[in-house]
Amino acid sequence: MTDIHDLTAVQLVERYASGELSPVEATRAVLHRIEQIQPEVNAFTRVDAEGALRQAEESAERWRRGTPVGLVDGVPVSVKDILLQRGAPTLRGSRTVRPEGSAWDEDAPSVARLREHGAVFVGKTTTPEFGWKGVTDSPVHGVTGNPYDPQRTAGGSSGGSAAAVALGAGPLSLGTDGGGSVRIPAAFCGIFALKPTYGRVPLYPASAFGTLAHVGPMARDAADAALLMDVISGPDWRDWSQLGPAEGGFREALTSGGGGVDGLRIAYSPALGGAAVVDPEVAASVRRAVDLLAELGAVVEEIDPGFEDPVEAFHTLWFSGAARVVQPLGQEDWELLDPGLREICAQGASYSALDYLAAVDVRMALGHAMGRFHSAYDLLVTPALPITAFEAGVEVPKGSEHPRWTGWTPFTYPFNLTQQPAASVPCGLSGAGLPIGVQLVGARHADALVLRAAHALFEAGLADGVRPPAA
């Protein structure tokens, strides 16, 4: 018998509708699970048990009356502590953000849509300071551990959300992704995450990292992520750069045209033209995922998209954004920042406007190249990461040639520059029992296709057996 906290959001809603389960029972199970996992992995910055149970009781009454208010009425969710949530301080992992400094009376657009659809908010999840790096530790909340081995990193910057979902502390979580921040921890923690096309999920306040930053769903599988996308992609006037309404629903897209990947043109790039040295176990697992796509009817070709590593352009944009985040701080607050964040902010502040515009030129050329590439291929498949999870509490693995997190994430940040939809799908475990992820990248606006292909992989059993030992 499946434990309640192991049920997906889709399964919970089905059981609510049948009367087999109550939102109160589900919420209590998730809160109990949080109590169990929090001391070991440190996934949450704040847990609101009282508020969650109150929301669950209200949802239970609606289900009893047969009047649920939305698609996720009564489903326990968590929110990365970067996104505003009414009634809860959003500290962003920083000692420079004071809880008493705001009324905390506004929801971010994605949070507002969840509230409108009856979600139960169980807590806020951990993030590195201002979401600046690909692992999750902060001066305020400390280190977040990996569900498979708490001495290793959960990845970041949405590491708390990934750890929570992997361990049954709520089936859905909202993350943000400016350079891989939902896909990196998804790959390290063995869950699914989608970075949607930029603007598909409205964002407010606007990120200082500009149009690199996306809001995305983190879930156990693609079906749950599609459900969440149907909720959070709703319009919000506060985001002037949001896209227009998506055609059809994301849940419907999972099975549209018969579903699956039969006939899709898929490009497989094992290392983006040598941009990364990929661990042999990672390469083998990703290869098995690609072989499965071919077995399911996709036309697979091993080919690189043919661009040079855009890391320097990404650094210019990312470090400049970080410098802008901390620009209002005085010297006393500057000293409170994560030392690594101080370093990249100092570098970001040294760039000129011409440096920034040169990086924009690289970005536009990359976007043009990928647009041309996707005129021939429906999807690009790569490893999500070239390695498995390493020691927690450090930015880079021991012996790394690169001082910054971008040195071990070459497959993620290029597609923030291009604003394309990209997902990480769990595709196996290493010999040490650590998760491995395969990345599916679509053309801009092809979010539904990415979800459909990911769903086909889940349905074919690619992720079977990828569950934490403590789950």
Residues designated catalytic? 80, 157, 181
In whole angstroms, what is the distance from residue 153 CA to residue 306 CA?
31
305 preceded by a cis bond (ω within 30 of 0):
no
Helix (H), strand (E) at residue 54: helix 49-65
The two tokens of residue 107 are 């929801």
- Cα–Cα dist 154/41, whole Å: 9
Cα–Cα distance, 170 to 173 (Å, whole number): 7
* 282: CB partners within 8 A, 6+ apart: 383, 385, 386, 387, 388, 430, 436
Non-local (6+) Cβ contacts of 130 within 8 A are 82, 92, 93, 94, 208, 322, 325, 326, 341
- Cα–Cα distance, 374 to 392 (Å, whole number): 37
Rg, the chain, Cα only: 21
Q: At 468, which amino acid appears? A: P
Residues 206, 199, 307, 372: what is their CA dihedral angle, to the nearest 10 degrees?
A: -150
Burial of 167 (0-12, 13-18, 19+ CB in 10 A): buried
Q: Are 427 and 191 in contact (CB under 8 A)?
A: no
Q: In what order do the strands lie in the sheet with 435-442?
A: 44-47, 120-125, 76-80, 172-177, 214-219, 192-195, 422-429, 435-442, 379-383, 265-268, 299-302
> Per the structure block, which two tokens stand in for 203?
């964002």
How far apart, in whole angstroms, are the C-alpha atoms of residue 200 and residue 196? 6
Residue 214 is encoded by which pair of tokens? 């996306």
- Encoded tokens for 49: 């048990």
d(CA 25, CA 57): 10
